[in-house]
Amino acid sequence: MEKVDTAHSPEGSQAPNGFFSEALAGRTTASDIEIDGSTVAYWTYEPAKATSTTRTILVIHGFRGDHHGLLRVVDQLPEMRIIMPDLPAFGSSEPFVDDEHTVERYGQFISSFMTALGLGPRTVLLGHSFGSIVASHFAASHPDAIYPLILINPIAAPALEGPKGIMTKLAVLYYQASARLPRRVGLAVLRNRLIVRVMSITMAKTKDKALRRFIHGQHDAYFSAFADRKSLLESFKASVSGNVAEVAEQLKLPVLLVAGEKDEIATLPNQHKLMERLPDATLEVIPDVGHLIHYETPAPAAAAIRTFLEEHPA
């Protein structure tokens, strides 16, 4: 297995300038578990003080991310118990054994993971970006497994269609070419800091210089934490071939959509179209942010989650 090593910073100490509270580290427990033959790393964030409204939230991160990306949202929900695995083939988790990294296979992982941890049907499921595809497809095929469903920056329409279709097709060629090149060259292309920085600059909408530096640092540190080129290519194909709208009518449970006003990947018009197709949906639009709600506007995202869960108790 081609393993890309990246530093794993202690929880709560990854960023200066107060981007995380001092209490976060005290809530954190890191664990490993074997799921279907692969070692999966996951983190549990216990509530600072459990109350009658405390819920367990299982978080599914986005493509090329890991659990670090949603930490600022976790930090804003100190009353919740939150569990965040690094998806197989990302972060500190191993890839699937002899299985392709598809949306359906990641859904099977969620099922196995929940069973292994004893997570029952009142577990809240939250997915960000690519994680929104995985989470929604899982919820559609396992209608009684979780309640309710929260999608942040949800992928609401086919990535290969519309004005962004050309860029997506170019990205497909990029990942395909990187997988075919000699190992060292291919990894160098995938981990190229300039390419990562261009991506980061494009997605960041905040004008706060310190926050922009933090975001770029996070992408520099964790965006290349993938297991190997094969699983990365498979996961990318999954991320651009699926979307939440495919299963919208099957999602009978309450769904919260948290969208960015300036999101160029999961555009706002598509979020409104998705909401219209969902049987029971709430759309929360956060202004002046794009596809990085989890980094740039964690407080309003957490507030929307809190209100939604109060309106849909276990």
State whether residue 140 is helix, strand or coil: helix
Q: Is the pLDDT of residue 84 over 70?
A: yes
Distance CA 140, CA 314 (A): 19
Decide which of 312 and 186 is more confident. 312
Q: Is the pLDDT of residue 8 over 70?
A: no
9 pLDDT higher than 50: no
Measured between alpha carbons, how far is 41 from 34 in angstroms, rounded to an integer?
9
Q: Is residue 79 pLDDT above 60, yes or no?
A: yes
Of residues 204 and 176, more confidently modeled: 204
Residues 2-6: what's their mean pLDDT? 36
- Both structure tokens of 305: 């989650």
Q: For residue 165, what pLDDT band results from cuts at 50, 70 and 90?
A: low
pLDDT-based confidence at 13, cuts 50/70/90? very low
pLDDT confidence tier of residue 41, bands split at 50, 70 and 90: very high
CB 72 within 8 A of CB 20: yes
Helix (H) or strand (E) holding 43: strand 38-45
Q: What integer is the mean pLDDT of 246-273?
A: 96
32-41, 190-199, 239-248: least confident range: 190-199
pLDDT of residue 312 exceeding 80, the answer is yes
pLDDT at residue 162 tops 90: no
Tokens 């990085």, located at residue: 292
Q: Averaged over 163-176, what is the pLDDT?
A: 74
Distance CA(107)–CA(89), nearest Å, equals 14
CA distance 276 to 119: 30
Contact 202, 283 (CB under 8 A): no
With residue 59 as reference, give the H or E element that holds it.
Answer: strand 56-60
Percent of the chain with pLDDT over 70: 92
Q: Which residues contact residue 112 at a Cβ distance below 8 angstroms, ignoring those fewer than 6 apart? A: 35, 36
Q: Compute CA distances 228 → 95, 168, 180, 189, 303, whole Å.
A: 8, 21, 12, 13, 37
Does the structure show a pLDDT above 90 at 253?
yes
Of 17-21, 207-211, 302-306, give the lowest mean pLDDT range: 17-21
